[in-house]
């Protein structure tokens, strides 16, 4: 096949746009041919053949002159002596902008390290959002490169193919350009998984030979049925592409034999109401397969795709997948966003303002807006990939606003899709008027109402449960803010006590003055650092009052100096008349401790916990906040030589909001049937929650059982222990202290 000639290109454009600017096209052809000169492609063809082929692909999409010219020129700035200024002088600012966008994209490497990939993807979208035609040229450019990929050195091939399947094919799909998407996927699949591609293709051939006749029959059958009912329709049978078949096999982990719908039929009619007539006729003739009917005419996909899909059990028990659509819908399904660039009837030469009314384009804009608030390139990439690849569910707000979400989305995703603030303050949901858990998977057509409570922070655990990148990024951000707030609150309490001990006044102003010395930017940074245990409170006191004598201890200050025989012993400040209190006793300046309601920064000793009624002490660990131990816990010995890390803490229990706390017990039980059941039943009857059970059998007669449970307080725990001691299967029960 020779290179496309100048007149051929002009003829192709004239065929759909009689008012084309022939002179402009001719000048671009000549300019690019001169600029590229004798450059050769990897295939040995003259380089200039490539931009021409790209322009040719775009004439199939019937695009405007500027896009065709940009395609002809798209490699000149990057690969030749041409400059953007020169292009602007010769072809005007519009074409300069398109070529500039394409030149920028050329430099991006989209399959690089995660962070760089996200950053580059961001640049790609920013380059195309100004003018969607840049994307159309880029997709055509990529298509021609993929068609000639076998000429590229093998080590480069895989990268180009991966980038195609990860980014360009989904983008084409997202822009509604199914035909282009399928060809891109197909070509990439061939290079990424050659064995899989070969196997699937071979199996498809075999099935086609075997069932080819059936296809013809079904096609004829459909045509006859429709004609008999006076419906004008075209029917085309087609075989699915190897890539989409392989993906379905992977996704549903089924074998080739189990795949029902290798063949699909497209029924094309004139008017939307005919689509429903065809559907009725088909369902009355053949049994439909439940769950496979989808109406994208009444709710189009986000890329403007409209069709009715249904699967029926056709002749010979074969499952037949049908797509029913009008001619106009078919054009959008094939050309997607490019269909909006077709010429207005009767006034050729005036392209419709490209894709303004297209929802696919709105998606692109929205995605780019998200870029602006994305936290990091990786998060952005994760977000966009999630957005690109999932099938959609459509849900409604009570006011009827349509919210499109990926499959598997929950009311939490829905809340964030409405607005970040709605997500952050969401506490409950009603689905179709009924109260439902926030983690319910949403179905098409659900109406979702979100209940909100101000001052809420989303639990960190939500982050792993949502499916939209927007929700994930917002929860991450809100959690960071909330956790930081908690650390800062803890830090403030620790500092207030440290200043009181030093008998000095504490205020944010004083702290502000010492920020330079503390090498922190804000008061909040200092508070959070103290709360995290990254900065010692004594150092802050020193920074604020540099002339304070370092060793002088305030009277009455008590420091735990260690643990002996399970009791804390204390060194005393000078001039002290022994009015000290044990940590854990109520006291005004001890830090109040609540339950496990908050994620951070207070945790309980992982080896045995602590419950109200225990005398407790807090140990500050850098980066982890405070860990609470009962005062008799042997683990405290490890902190003997670090008095700065010990904190006075007290229980702060709200009777109105009871909370459970963690404890651990160890039992020795006699091996006989039902003894474990007896233990767990006893605990359950006494309102204890079992969190985990570990069993170890040192000899055939006995089993050692360790149980982590949560209880209301010490009295509750003691009651459970004494109840267990009553059981004759149990020879010993002790509380375990870490």
Rounded CA-CA distance 433/449 in Å is 8
Rounded CA-CA distance 633/736 in Å is 9
SS3 content of the chain, % helix, strand, coil (to 5): 50, 20, 30
Residues 6+ away with beta carbon under 8 Å from 574: 553, 555
* Count of CB atoms situated within 10 Å of the CB of 96: 21
Rounded CA-CA distance 148/140 in Å is 13
Rounded CA-CA distance 613/137 in Å is 72
* Count of CB atoms situated within 10 Å of the CB of 256: 16
Phi-psi category of residue 455: left, alpha or beta, with phi > 0 → left and psi -120 to 50 → alpha: left
What angle do the packed helices 194-228 and 272-285 form, to 10 degrees?
90
Rounded CA-CA distance 626/601 in Å is 6
Alpha helices in 40-174 (DSSP H): 49-60, 65-73, 76-79, 84-91, 93-106, 114-129, 132-147, 154-163, 169-174
DSSP per-residue letters across 72-96: HHTTHHHHSS--HHHHHHHH-HHHH
Report the length, in residues, of the chain. Answer: 738
Instruction: Tally the C-alpha atoms within 13 A of residue 224's C-alpha that lie toward its C-beta.
Output: 7
Decide: 504 and 514 in contact? Cβ < 8 Å: no
CA distances from 260 to 250, 318, 514 (A): 15, 7, 72
Beta pairing partners, 394: 404
Burial of 578 (0-12, 13-18, 19+ CB in 10 A): exposed
CA distances from 314 to 214, 282, 295, 547 (A): 10, 10, 20, 92
Beta pairing partners, 591: 649
Decide: 614 and 566 in contact? Cβ < 8 Å: no
* Count of CB atoms situated within 10 Å of the CB of 237: 18
Rounded CA-CA distance 572/581 in Å is 11
CA dihedral for 454, 460, 465, 470, sign (positive or negative): positive
- Which is nearest to 649 in space by CA: 634, 664, 665, 636? 636
Rounded CA-CA distance 661/712 in Å is 6
- Which is nearest to 629 in space by CA: 655, 603, 652, 654? 603
Decide: 615 and 630 in contact? Cβ < 8 Å: yes
Rounded CA-CA distance 93/87 in Å is 8
Three-class secondary structure of residue 568 per DSSP: strand
Beta pairing partners, 648: 617
- CA 690 to the chain's CA centroid: 34
DSSP per-residue letters across 682-703: HHHHTTPEEEEEEEEEEETTEE
Active-site residue list: 78-79
What angle do the packed helices 154-163 and 132-147 form, to 10 degrees?
140
CA distances from 597 to 472, 527, 600, 629 (A): 21, 22, 9, 18
């Amino acid at each position: 096949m020779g290179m496309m000639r100048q007149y051929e290109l002009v003829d192709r454009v004239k065929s759909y746009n009689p008012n084309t600017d022939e002179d402009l096209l001719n000048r671009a052809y000549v300019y690019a041919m001169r600029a590229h000169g004798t450059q050769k492609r990897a295939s040995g063809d003259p380089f200039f053949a490539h931009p021409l082929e790209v322009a040719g692909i775009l004439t199939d999409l019937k695009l405007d002159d500027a896009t065709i010219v940009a395609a002809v020129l798209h490699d000149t700035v990057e690969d030749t002596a041409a400059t953007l200024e020169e292009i602007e002088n010769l072809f005007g600012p519009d074409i300069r902008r398109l070529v500039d966008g394409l030149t920028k994209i050329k430099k991006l490497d989209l399959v690089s390290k995660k962070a760089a990939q996200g950053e580059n993807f961001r640049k790609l979208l920013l380059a195309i959002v100004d003018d969607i035609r840049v994307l159309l040229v880029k997709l055509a450019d990529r298509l021609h490169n993929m068609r000639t990929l076998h000429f590229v050195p093998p080590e480069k091939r895989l990268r180009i193919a991966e980038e195609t399947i990860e980014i360009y094919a989904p983008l084409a799909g997202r822009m509604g350009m199914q035909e282009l998407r399928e060809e891109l996927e197909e070509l990439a699949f061939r290079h990424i998984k050659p064995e899989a591609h070969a196997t699937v293709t071979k199996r498809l051939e075999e099935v086609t030979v075997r069932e080819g006749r059936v296809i013809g029959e079904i096609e004829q059958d459909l045509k006859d049925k429709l004609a008999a009912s006076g419906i004008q329709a075209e029917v085309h049978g087609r075989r699915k592409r190897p890539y989409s078949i392989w993906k379905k096999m992977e996704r549903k982990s089924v074998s080739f034999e189990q795949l029902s719908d290798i063949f699909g039929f497209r029924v094309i009619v004139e008017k939307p109401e005919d689509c429903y007539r065809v559907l009725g006729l088909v369902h009355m003739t053949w049994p439909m397969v439940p769950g496979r009917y989808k109406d994208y005419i009444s709710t189009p996909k986000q890329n403007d795709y409209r069709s009715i899909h249904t699967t029926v059990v056709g002749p010979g028990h074969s499952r037949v997948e049908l797509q029913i659509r009008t001619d106009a819908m078919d054009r959008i399904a094939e050309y997607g966003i490019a269909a909006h660039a077709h010429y207005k009837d009767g006034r050729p030469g005036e392209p419709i303002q490209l894709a303004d009314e297209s929802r696919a384009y709105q998606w692109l804009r929205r995605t780019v807006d998200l870029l602006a608030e994305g936290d990091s390139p990786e998060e952005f990439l994760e977000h966009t990939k999630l957005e690109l690849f999932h099938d959609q569910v459509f849900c409604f707000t009570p006011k009827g606003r349509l919210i499109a979400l990926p499959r598997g989305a929950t009311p939490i995703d829905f809340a964030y899709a409405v607005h970040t603030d709605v997500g952050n303050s969401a506490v409950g949901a009603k689905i179709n008027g009924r109260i439902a858990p926030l983690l319910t998977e949403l179905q098409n057509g659900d109406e979702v109402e979100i209940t909100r409570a101000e001052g809420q922070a989303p639990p960190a655990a939500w982050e792993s449960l949502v499916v939209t990148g927007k929700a994930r990024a917002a929860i991450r951000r809100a959690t960071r803010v909330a956790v930081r707030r908690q650390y800062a609150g803890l830090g403030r309490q620790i500092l207030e006590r440290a200043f009181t001990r030093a008998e000095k006044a504490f205020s944010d102003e004083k702290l502000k003055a010492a920020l330079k010395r503390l090498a922190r930017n804000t008061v909040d940074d200092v508070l959070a650092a103290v709360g995290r245990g990254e900065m010692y409170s004594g150092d802050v006191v020193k920074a604020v009052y540099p002339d304070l004598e370092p060793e002088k201890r305030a009277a009455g200050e008590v420091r735990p100096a260690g643990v002996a025989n399970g009791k804390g012993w204390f060194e005393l400040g000078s001039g002290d008349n022994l009015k000290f209190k044990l940590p854990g006793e109520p006291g005004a300046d001890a830090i109040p401790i609540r339950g496990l309601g908050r994620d951070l920064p207070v945790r309980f000793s992982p080896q045995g916990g602590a419950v109200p009624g225990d005398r407790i002490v807090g140990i500050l660990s850098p980066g982890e906040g405070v860990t609470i131990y009962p005062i008799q816990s042997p683990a405290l010995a490890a902190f003997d030589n670090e008095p700065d890390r010990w904190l006075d803490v007290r229980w702060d229990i709200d009777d109105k909001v009871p909370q459970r706390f963690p404890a651990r017990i160890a039992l020795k039980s006699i091996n006989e049937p039902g003894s474990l059941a007896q233990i767990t039943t006893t605990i359950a009857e006494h309102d204890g929650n079992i969190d985990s059970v570990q069993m170890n059998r040192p000899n055939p007669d006995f089993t050692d059982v360790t149980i982590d449970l949560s209880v209301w307080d010490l009295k509750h725990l003691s009651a459970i222990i004494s109840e267990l001691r009553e059981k004759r299967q149990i020879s010993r029960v002790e509380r375990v202290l870490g």
